[in-house]
A = this chain, B = another copy of it.
Amino acid sequence: MIVAVNVHLKKGVLDPQGKAVHHALETLGFKDVDGVRVGKQILLDINTDDKEKAIEIAKKAADELLANPVIENYEIEVK
C-alpha cells in the first residue's frame, strides 16, 4: 500500500523556494497564481493491507524522521 506523507513549512515560516517559483510563474505570465508553497511528498510503500496500520506507520515515520516539527507540518494521504 502506497501512503504519501506531504511535508510543508508551517504558515509564517519563510519559504524562499516557493517565492522563487511564484516569481518565475509570474515572469512566465501566470497571472492567476496568488501564492506558491513548495514542500516534499514522500511515498512510502508499506507492506500491509490494513489501511489503519499503514497510516499509523506513516505517522510514526513522519514524527521520527520525515518532518521537522519545529518548522514543518505534515499530512498523511493513502494513495
Contacts and interface: CB of A to CB of B under 8 A. Distances in A.
A61 B8 contact: no
A40 interface: yes
Interface residues of A, number: 33
Contacts of A4: 6
A41 to B, nearest CB: 4
A14 to B, nearest CB: 15
B57 A30 contact: yes
10 contacts: A4-B6, A21-B66, A30-B57, A32-B48, A33-B46, A35-B44, A38-B40, A39-B40, A39-B41, A39-B43
Interface of A: 4, 6-8, 18, 21, 24-25, 28, 30, 32-48, 57, 60-61, 64-66
